[in-house]
Amino acid sequence: MPTYDGLTSQDVLDATQAGVVVLDDQGGVLSANPAAGQALGWVTGAPPADLGVGVLIGQPGWIAPEGWSPDVWTAASGARCPVSYTARALPPPSGQGWVVTFVPTTHLLTSAEADQASQDNNAFISALSHELRTPLNALLGFAQLLEMDDLNEDQAESVEQILTGGRHLLSLITATLDITRIESGHVPLELEPTRVGLLCEQVVALMSIEAAQRGSRIEVVSPSQTDSALVDRGRLRQVLLNLIGNALKYGGPAGVVHVEILTQGPWCQICVSDIGPGISPADAERIFQPFQRLAGTSSEVGTGLGLPLARTLVESMGGTLELEGRPGAGSCFRVRLPAAGHADGADPRRSKLDEAVRGRVLYVEDNEGNVRLVERLMARRPEVTLDLVATLDEARAKLSTTTYEAVLLDLVLPDGRGEELLAGELDDHPTTTVVVMSGDQPGPALRARLAALGHSFLAKPLEIGRFLQVLDEAVNRPAARALR
C-alpha cells in the first residue's frame, strides 16, 4: 500500500466520513471502514464474518448497480437505515468484486419508528385524497346532471368541456397520490367487470384534442365489442391515458396510434402501437424505471414516472405490461389483463325517472355540495325517501328509531369516522345495505368487511350511472340480506 509522508491509503479510507464496503463477486463483505461500521451498528469497521451484503440490505442475490441509487439497508440490530449509495467494480488486478460507497440519508429507524412513519404517511395521503376529491365530486356530479338534461348544441359542448377538464384534473390528482401510495406499498383497487372497448373509446375522446393538435389520429380496433376485463376502471383509464399519450408524443408528426383489443383465453389484451422510431432492446426495461427518459425525448414534457406507474397498476390488477420493441418501426405496448365474462356498461343518460325503486335511505354527509347533489339524484327516484344527517350522533339517533333499506355513508365526519357505525349500530340492522361514498379510500380490512357483509364502496367523484345502479340494488335487496 503506497505511503505519502507516513500517510497510507488505509488512513485516508478510515478518515472518510462516507461508508465504504468492499465486496467479493458473490456479494460477501471483505472489509469496511469505520464509518460503515458506525452507520450500520458494527462495533468495529470489520463486519461480522457471516454478514454478507444479501443479509446487509435484506435482498439475497443483490446485484450492485452502477451509479448512485436510494435504498434502505438493514443494520446489525435489525433497524432500517435509508442510504444513498454507489457501486463500482474493482479494477484489475484486484480481482472481481465491488467497492460500495454509501451515505446514510437519515438516522437509523427502528421498526417501531418506521411503522409509525408509514402510518402517518398513510393518514396524510388519506386526508389529502378526501380534501381534493370532495369539491371535485360536486363539480363533476352536477356536470353529469346537466348532461342528462335536454341541452342545445352549445350547452352540451360546454358541459362536455367541464366534464373533460374535471376528469383530467381528477386523473392528475389520482396519479400524484398513487405515486405516494405505491412508495408506501398501498394501492387501493375496486375490481369489477369492465367493457374495455367502451373505456378505450372514452379515453380516445379525451385525447382527441391533443391528437388533432399534433396532426395525428387514434384508431380503436375491437373485433368483439363485448371484450371485458376484471379491472379497476379508474386505474385502467390512467394506464390508457399514459400509453396513448406517449404514443402521440413519440409517434412522430401526423402519426397514427392503433389501439387494438382482443380476448385470448383467460386474458383480455390491449395493444397500443405507434409508427415512431421505436425503442431499442437495450432501453426496453430501462423505460419502466422511475425517472428514466430516453435520449432525444427531452423536448416533450414528462416526469419519467408514467410508465413505471402504469406497469405497477397493471400488475396490481393481476396483469402484465410489456414493450414489444420494433426499432425503426414504432413501438407496441401490450397490456394483458384477466378477462371477465360480463361487463357493466352503465350510461348516465339511461338513468331516467324510475318509480319502481321504493324504500327509505339515510345519507350521512357533512359537505353541503355533496348533499345537494344526492338530493338532485334522488329526484329521479321519487318513491325513495331520503333522510339527511351530518354527524355520527345524528345517524345513531335516526338508526335507533327508523329502519332503512340503505345507508349512504361518508368516512370523514365532524365527530368521527364513518366506519364506527359499521362496527356499532349498523350491526343491529341486518336488512340495511351500506354504501360507503368517500374520497378517502378504505383500507384492505374495511374493504374486506364491506364485501363480507354485502355492502359497497363508491369512490368520489361519483359516476352518476354507477351510483344509481348501486343505489337501486341496495334498496331492492333487503329481503335477501335478511337471509344472510
Say yes or no to pLDDT of 270 above 90: yes
Looking at the structure, give the CATH architecture of the domain made up of residues 3-109.
Answer: 2-Layer Sandwich (3.30)
CA atoms 111, 112, 117, 122: torsion sign: positive
Per-residue pLDDT at 255: 81
Distance (Å, rounded) from C-alpha 418 to C-alpha 364?
Answer: 8
CATH says 190-345 is which class? Answer: alpha beta
Strands (E), 251-313: 256-264, 267-273
Per-residue pLDDT at 56: 47
Mean pLDDT is lowest, of 125-134, 353-362, 401-410, for: 125-134
Residue 296 cell numbers, joined: 432525444
Say yes or no to pLDDT of 296 above 60: no
Residue 48 cell numbers, joined: 461480522
Per residue in 148-203, pLDDT tens? 888 898 898 888 888 888 887 777 677 667 666 655 555 667 778 888 988 898 88
Strands of the sheet containing 217-221, edge to edge, are 217-221, 256-264, 267-273, 331-338, 320-325
Highest mean pLDDT among 38-42, 275-279, 398-402, 456-460: 398-402
pTM of this prediction exceeds 0.85: no
Once rounded to an integer, what is the mean pLDDT over residues 399-408? 91
Distance (Å, rounded) from C-alpha 422 to C-alpha 417?
Answer: 10
Per-residue pLDDT at 198: 87
Once rounded to an integer, what is the mean pLDDT over residues 55-67? 43
Distance (Å, rounded) from C-alpha 475 to C-alpha 435?
Answer: 10
Residue 461 cell numbers, joined: 367523484
Say yes or no to pLDDT of 63 above 50: no
- Of residues 184 and 281, more confidently modeled: 281
Per-residue pLDDT at 57: 46
Per-residue pLDDT at 398: 92
For the chain, the domains span 3-109, 190-345, 350-482
> Among 304, 254, 246, 240, which Cα is nearest to 278's?
246
Say yes or no to pLDDT of 342 above 50: no
Per residue in 355-380, pLDDT tens? 778 899 999 999 888 899 999 888 88
Say yes or no to pLDDT of 416 above 80: yes
Distance (Å, rounded) from C-alpha 28 to C-alpha 53?
Answer: 6
Say yes or no to pLDDT of 46 above 70: no
Say yes or no to pLDDT of 472 above 70: yes
Per-residue pLDDT at 80: 61
Distance (Å, rounded) from C-alpha 140 to C-alpha 253?
Answer: 33
Mean pLDDT is lowest, of 62-66, 309-313, 339-343, for: 62-66
Highest mean pLDDT among 97-111, 287-301, 463-477: 463-477
Strands of the sheet containing 97-104, edge to edge, are 29-32, 19-24, 97-104, 80-89, 69-74
Fold of the domain spanning 350-482: Rossmann fold (3.40.50)
Residues of 244-267 as b/e, b for ≥16 C-beta within 10 angstroms? bbbbbbbbbeebbbbbbbebeeee
Per residue in 220-263, pLDDT tens? 887 666 788 888 888 899 899 989 988 888 877 778 899 999 88
- Of residues 147 and 279, more confidently modeled: 147
| Confidence bin at 299 (pLDDT 50/70/90) | very low
